[in-house]
Every structure is written in C-alpha cells, then in structure tokens.
Structure 1
Amino acid sequence: MEAQTQVIFATAVFLVTYAIIVSEKIHRAVAAFCGAAVIIIAGILNVEQAVHFVDFNTIGLLVGMMIIVGITRQTGVFEYLAIKAAKQAKGEPIRIMAALAFITAVLSALLDNVTTVLLIVPVTFAIARQLQVNVIPFLIVEILASNIGGTATLIGDPPNIMIGSATKLGFMDFVVNLTPVVVVIYVLTIFILKLIYRRQITTRPELMQNIMAMDEKDEIKDQALLKKCLTVLALTITGFVLHQFVHLESSVIALSGAALLLLVTRMDPEHALHSVEWPVIFFFIGLFVVVGALEEVGVIEAIAQYALEVTGGALLPAGLLILWLSAVASAFVDNIPFVATMIPLIHDMGRLGGIQDLNFLWWSLSLGACLGGNGTIIGASANVVVIGMAEKRGSHIGFMGFFKIAFPLMLLSIVIAMLYLFLWYTLPVAKVILATLAFGILLAFVLSIMDRGSTPAQNQKISVK
C-alpha cells in the first residue's frame, strides 16, 4: 500500500471507529477492537508495531486497581462511608447531597471515578427512598463530583492515567499541580448546585429521622477482610506517592498491590478477576492500536505542525488552545479516545517546536479532558455508567436535563482552570497561594456539611441494591 493510500486508509479507519464509539450503536470495546483488527489486516501496522503502541502501563494500572477495589467492595466499607456521611448531615437532603458528593470526589481521586460511582449510586438510591425525594439531583451532583475529583490525581480518571504513563509524570506531580485548582472548582460547583436544588429536594422531619436511625456498622460484612483491604490499599497509595523515587512504574505498584491482596485474602483468583472490567481493557488496547496507526503514517505529526503554526510555537497560547479544545471535544465525545489522540500530538508539538518542558501542555490537556467530561451525559465513562445504573432502577437522566445544569458549570470550571494555568505560567508563586486558599476553602466546606452534635437513634438496616 502506497504512503498516501496508507494515510487515507488509517484516517478513515480512525474516523469510522470514532463515529461508532460516539453513536453507541455498537459497544465501544467491539468498535475499537474491530478498528485495530482492520489496521493490522490491511498492513498499516504489523503485530510487533501494534504491540509497541499499546500502553501496558495504563493497562496494568487499570487491572491492578480494579482487582483491589473489587475485593474491597465486598467488605461493605463504601456503603458504610455513605451512610455515615448521611448521618453527619443530620438527614437533611441538601446536606446529604453535598456529603455524598464529597465522598464521591475523594474516592474518585484515590480509586477512580468509574469505580466510585458504581459503589456510591446504589447507596444513593437507598437513601433517596428513605427520604422519599427525587434521586436525579443526587445523581447529577455525583457525576460532576466524580469527574472533578478524578482530575486531582494520577489514578483518578483514565485520561490522567494515560497522560501519566506517556509522560512519566508521577502521582505527586498531579497532586501538587492539579489538586489546588480542582478543590476550588469542586467547592464552587457544589455551592452552585446546592443553590439550584435547595428547593427541589426537601422532605419531612420524620423521614429525616429514618436516616438518623440507620446503623452504618451493619454494612460492614467482614471485619477481617476489611483490615486486610485497607492495609493493602494504604500501601498501594503510598507506593503511588513514592513510585518516582523508587523508580517503579505505577502499573507495577497497582499490580503488586493486587497480588499482595490476593495472597493475604486467599481470594479465588477467578472470582477476583470478575471485578476487572475486561471490555474497558480491550477498548483501551484497540484504541491504542488505531491511534498508533495515525502516528505511524504521519497524520499526528502533520496536525502537530499545523497547531504550532496557529499558536506561533508559543507555550501559553498552545496550552490554552489545548485546554478549550479538550474541554469542548470531551463534552461531546468520550474523553478517553480524545486523549489517546492528543498525547502523541503534544509529543510531536514538543519535538517539532523544540519545546523541552511540556508539562504546561499536559496539565492543560488533563484539566480540559477531565473537566470537559462534565459537559454532557455522554462526555465521560462515569457519566454513562450512572445513566445505565439509573435506568435499571427506573430513573431516567435526559440529555438536555443534564446539559442545562452541567454544561454551564463545565464552562465555569474551564474558565477557572484557564485563569489558574495563566497564573501558573506567568507567576509560579501563585500555585502556593492557590494551594493555601484551596485548603482553607476545603476545610470550610467539610465543616459546613458536618455537625458535631449527635442524635440518639434506633438501629435500622438499609437495603442497598
């Protein structure tokens, strides 16, 4: 196949694959895997080249964390946390919404946002039933909180996992550079959502007492397993924090944590591996090959050259362009394939433009892709997961209903991110100021949804399905 024909063919396969993923007519894992098969059969890439383009660090990190979380969820600790938060909010629906959003954001940063919503949504339905309130506002807030929280760390959102693997940026790099602005965006977003929903989710005092009567301890199913899981999870997160210093890939940390947990729990490996979302894994593998074909035939390099001409090779305009392009694109298409396309593009921009330090562009891509996923109901994997779980339980989240609330908030978050990136580039000391401000804002927010007082209550079990 001639070079020009290869360019046209690889581009066509990429666009068709992308269109099928967006249309959701065929499962995205099937679409990506079929696209990869066509690329190899057509001879654009041979098997060795295809394997080269698969980022096994990303794959390993995802598999390892899925196993750890899959075993941990059997303990009931996530249901415990949700009910404990609802009781701290004294059964008030609007404060429960904020408390569940906080847990969702924190767990999304420490685990990942897709896993977090899988854990939190069933409890949310149970609490909404007790309060006899509309569950949709809770779900919308949790979607937004999961994507915002996931932006803060290396392991919180698949785009960050991919960026970290491609750049060798570590866990603490993401925490130091992204968490301060994420905290500001999160608190402002939840404050606005509380204003929007404060009149829509009200309930009677006796129903609030039902929440206070729940006993969160009943949700812990296996104390011994819980201790082992929390110990291994703590060691794994510590490993992420230190992995740059001990010169180990993040995938090695995650897979080692999974192996240790399987060892100490004597869990049946076949049962434990059921918690791995294999369609997600194969989706990533297929996607890496399809995007790798574009890189191989020179399409990515040509786009990078054009981007350099548009921005004049200047870092600040390039970063802001990537931020807004990523945000708008990720709102309407899944941010995972978009980021998979952008990573080699940014690498080529650095190589062609002679830019040594590309970190500013990576933070722009991360903020744009992760926060942009909040723009529409199909913008991120966590969004789609919540839609499916809600529909199974008889609740429907409409595209326009979500869009009217989420898209303006997404734009606001990108404006804040843009100001942060501008200050980050022009005045580095601003990061220290913002970090201090973010800590104060977060502390005030946590105190606002907690009440130190206690209310005696009868123990009552809650059904989480």
Structure 2
Amino acid sequence: MTVSAVLAVVVFAGAYVLIASEKVNRTAVALGGAALMVLIGVVRGGDVFFSEETGVDWNVIFLLLGMMVIVGVLRQTGVFEFVAIWAAQRARARPFRMMALLIVITAVASALLDNVTTVLLVAPVTLLLCDRLALAPVPFLLAEAMASNIGGTATLIGDPPNIIIASRAGLTFNDFLVNLAPIVVVLLGVFLALAWLLWGRRMVYDPERAASVMALTPRETIADARLLRRMLVVLGLVLLGFLTHNLTHLEPSLVALLGAGASVLLSRLPSDEYLEDVEWETLLFFAGLFVMVGALVKAGVISELASSLTSAIGDNYLPAALGILGGSAVLSGIVDNIPYVATMAPLVHDLVGPGAGLPPAQQSLWWALALGADLGGNATAIGASANVVITGIARRNDHPISFWTFTRYGLVVTAVTIAVCIPYVWIRYFVVT
C-alpha cells in the first residue's frame, strides 16, 4: 500500500471515529476530512469537482436539493397533515398498525420512485402523525429509513447502486423486477416482524388522543387546494421522468431540479418558505463524505480490497456470490453504498462479464452485489443516502438520532435480511436453474 493510501485510510478512519463518537458535528468532520484529503495530496480540484469516480456525486446532491424544494412547496398545501390523519384513521390510531402501514407505503414508494425521494416525502407525515398522538418519532423514522432501503432494492430505479449496476451489467428494469422483487416481498414481511420486536411491543396506546384524531376531518387540513392540484401534476411529471429515464436519458437530478423550478414558479411563494425544508447540512455532509470516499478510490484502497475478494473467488460461483453478498453488506455499512458499488461493479464485470444473457450461476454475482450493497446500507447511519437524509430531518426537528442508535438497530436488520438472502441466492441460481 502506498503512502497516500495509508494517509487516506488514516484520515477516513479518524473521521469515521469522530462521526461515530458524535462529539463533533458530523458535517464539520466530513468537510474537515475532505479538506485533509486535499491537503495531503490524495485528491485535487479535478478529482473533487469533475471526476465521476472520485469526486462529489452531483447527481445525488442536486436530486436531494430538487426534491427538498418540491417537498418545501408541498408542505404549504397542508397535504402532509391530510396524509397523516388519513393514515392514523386507517390504522385506528394504533401505534404499531400505523408503523406497519408507513413501512409498507415507504417500501412500495421506494421501489417506484427512489428511496431518498420517498423518505423526503414520508418523514414530514410521520413527524406530524407522532406529534398528534404524542408518540416518539424516532422508531418510526428508523423503520422508514430501513424500509426504504429494502423496498428500493426491488427495482432498477429504487436505489442509486442499482442504477450503477444496471449501467455496468446491461441489465433492464424487468431484470431487476424478476430477480429482486420476489425476495424483497419476503424481506418486507420479515422486516415487519422485526419492527414489532424492536419497537412495536413497547409502544403505548393513548385512547384519548386516538379518539381526538379519529374525530378529525382530513379534508379540513388542506390549506391551498389549487396549489395542491398543481403540485400533484408536477410531482406526477417528476415521477414519470424517473420512470422513463431509459427513454429520455434525463438524469434523475435534472428531473428533480426541473420539478423544483416548476414548483417555485407555480407556487409564487417567497424563497424563505420553499427553502425552509432544504437540509443544507445534509447536503454538505454528503459532499464531504463523497470526497473522503473518492480519496480512498483514488488511492486504490477500495479497489485493492475488492480485488482481494475477487481474486480469491476464481470459478467457484456459489462461494463467490455469497462472499460478495456478505462482503458488500459489511463494506456498504462502513462506506456509503454508492461509491462502493461504483468501485465493485467493474470488478464483477471483469470476473463474469455483462449480466444480460449469463448463466444463472454467473449472473448471481450481480444480484448478490445489489442485495448486499442495498441491504447493507441499513447497517449504519451513513451506509445509505436515505439514512443520512432521515437523520438530518430528525435532527432539524429536535429528535436527533445518534449514530449508535441507528447502528444498534441497523445491524440487527441487516444481519437478518442478509441471512434470508443467502438461501434465496443459493436456491434461485444454483438449485432451480
């Protein structure tokens, strides 16, 4: 390992320890770590700002920014209050029933949209719902972040790592749906049971508050019906843009920014109102994290780890698939799963070739990579983009979720879901062929 690689590992490890300790603001740590990577010469301006492999992922940054502006305009219509009351009434104001309903909604929406967009839309509803019923919102937010990562695994557009895999492997939307949606349905059922064990059995039902919520009329919460109709059209077009990416070739970030611009023009709101929901600290944290991970990529640290894994594989595809599944789960919990997959995808391509048309045993390596990276993102608060967004929203609303609080539950969920995937990969690609 070169000197620059050693220095990059030291900086990244130090930053990770500080983030985990929560003694220093995580955004300051991420930006400070990024600055150190530049100062020690691991990356330069071109690497940071213009490189797809080592720089800031502007698609993620501007996707988040655009959707945050759309959410900020939507908030002014009262639609989040409407959905919160509707959900509470459908669940008869029973806490775990509401959690289960929100988990299913989040998982399904994450498969159709993407997990980051989904948590941006669902989190405000959750906070309002918990406020109405005097419930602690942290368990709900944790469950939604993890459900978004599970649901997003099912489709090509559901989780950013899947888009990277599809591009490198030549896999289609239907390929993802056929190969990953069945196991995601099973994982969702498993996660609902886990949610009951982790949080649901300790929830307290308040009959008086429940009765007051059941007496509400959801329609009365709509403050601006005309703006809501316009925003639903804009949101529908944004979702259509996400779904038709293969036809239009418009990046999701551009679609989100176009939607944000249309929202601002149609609403004519003052800037302080629609910018209120923009998580500037979260965006800066992402930028710093991308630079630090990019430095590891530039120094060859991640590729060296991945190469060690693939060189040990050879033609033994079952151990290879299970090794990639488990290894991806571990590494995606430590390093954000987007840059991890960006590094691993070329190596899997070199090992077995494009995914389309491969025999099941060889194609299993691509699906193991997707499952491991997407589900492994649940392990820690920085393992997936949706986790970072949820913890940022929680902090801004005075319900901070510590790194270790997230990790304590995330490790359990990741371990169980990956364990369920092991027999699926074995049976699907090596027994039933």
**Superposition TM-score, scaled by structure 1 size:** 0.74
- Residue 297 (structure 2) pairs with residue 298 (structure 1): no
Give the 3-state SS of the residue equivalent to 1:357 in structure 2.
coil
Distance in 2 between residues matched to 1:136 and 1:14, nearest whole Å:
28
Distance in 2 between residues matched to 1:4 and 1:195, nearest whole Å:
47
- Give the match for residue 119 of structure 1: 124
Cα offset for 1:185? 1.2
Distance in 2 between residues matched to 1:404 and 1:42, nearest whole Å:
34
Deviations 1:381-416 (A, max 9, x none): 655776787788897989898777664443232122
Give the 3-state SS of the residue equivalent to 2:255 in structure 1.
helix
Distance in 2 between residues matched to 1:77 and 1:63, nearest whole Å:
20
- Give the match for residue 285 of structure 2: 283
Deviations 1:224-248 (A, max 9, x none): 1111111111111111111112222
Distance in 1 between residues matched to 2:426 and 2:171, nearest whole Å:
21
Contact 1:82 1:103 in 2 (8 A): no
Give the 3-state SS of the residue equivalent to 1:75 in structure 2.
coil
Distance in 1 between residues matched to 2:383 and 2:99, nearest whole Å:
22
Contact 1:118 1:385 in 2 (8 A): no
- Choose which of 75, 97, 101 in structure 1 pairs with 2:103: 101
Instruction: Provide structure 1 residue ranges, at least 5 long, that are not aligned to the other structure.
Output: 430-465
Give the 3-state SS of the residue equivalent to 2:354 in structure 1.
coil
- Residue 37 (structure 2) pairs with residue 39 (structure 1): yes
- Choose which of 226, 229, 237 in structure 2 pairs with 1:227: 229
The percent identity for this pair of structures is 40
- Residue 187 (structure 2) pairs with residue 185 (structure 1): yes
1:53-202 matches, within 5 Å, as: 53-54=54-55, 55-109=57-111, 110=113, 112=116, 114-116=119-121, 118-129=123-134, 138=140, 141-153=143-155, 156=158, 175=177, 177-191=179-193, 193-194=195-196, 200-201=202-203
Distance 1:253 1:10, change over 3 A: same
Cα offset for 1:308? 1.5
- Give the match for residue 319 of structure 1: 321
- Give the match for residue 255 of structure 2: 253
Distance 1:372 1:185, change over 3 A: same
Distance 1:235 1:410, change over 3 A: same
- Give the match for residue 27 of structure 1: 25
**Alignment RMSD, CA only?**
3.9
Deviations 1:19-70 (A, max 9, x none): 3333333333333333333333333333223321323333332222222222
Distance in 2 between residues matched to 1:231 and 1:413, nearest whole Å:
36
- Give the match for residue 263 of structure 1: 265
- Give the match for residue 412 of structure 1: 416
Deviations 1:110-145 (A, max 9, x none): 36254245313322322433xxx6766655544543
Distance in 2 between residues matched to 1:162 and 1:34, nearest whole Å:
28
Contact 1:57 1:165 in 2 (8 A): no
Cα offset for 1:78? 2.5
- Residue 12 (structure 2) pairs with residue 14 (structure 1): yes
Distance in 2 between residues matched to 1:24 and 1:313, nearest whole Å:
44
Which deviates further from its counterpart, 108-117 or 177-186?
Answer: 108-117
Give the 3-state SS of the residue equivalent to 1:317 in structure 2.
helix
Give the 3-state SS of the residue equivalent to 2:235 in structure 1.
helix
What code does the residue aligned with 2:222 have?
A: I
- Give the match for residue 429 of structure 2: 425
**Superposition TM-score, scaled by structure 2 size:** 0.79
- Residue 364 (structure 2) pairs with residue 364 (structure 1): no
Cα offset for 1:355? 2.9
Which deviates further from its counterpart, 387-396 or 234-243?
Answer: 387-396
Contact 1:59 1:281 in 2 (8 A): yes
Give the 3-state SS of the residue equivalent to 1:311 in structure 2.
coil
Give the 3-state SS of the residue equivalent to 1:245 in structure 2.
helix
Cα offset for 1:213? 0.5
Instruction: Provide structure 2 residue ranges, at least 5 long, that are not aligned to the other structure.
Output: 357-362
Which deviates further from its counterpart, 145-154 or 395-404?
Answer: 395-404
- Give the match for residue 455 of structure 1: none
What code does the residue aligned with 1:12 have?
A: V
Distance 1:187 1:395, change over 3 A: same
Distance in 2 between residues matched to 1:408 and 1:150, nearest whole Å:
19
What code does the residue aligned with 1:238 have?
A: L
- Give the match for residue 446 of structure 1: none
Give the 3-state SS of the residue equivalent to 1:276 in structure 2.
coil
Distance 1:44 1:99, change over 3 A: closer
Give the 3-state SS of the residue equivalent to 2:42 in structure 1.
coil
Contact 2:329 2:377 in 1 (8 A): yes
- Give the match for residue 347 of structure 1: 346
Distance in 2 between residues matched to 1:6 and 1:401, nearest whole Å:
33
Give the 3-state SS of the residue equivalent to 2:93 in structure 1.
coil
Distance in 2 between residues matched to 1:374 and 1:297, nearest whole Å:
26
- Give the match for residue 360 of structure 2: none
Distance in 1 between residues matched to 2:24 and 2:38, nearest whole Å:
21
Distance in 1 between residues matched to 2:170 and 2:66, nearest whole Å:
18
Of structures 1 and 2, the larger Rg is shown by: 1
Distance 1:127 1:383, change over 3 A: farther
What code does the residue aligned with 1:252 have?
A: L
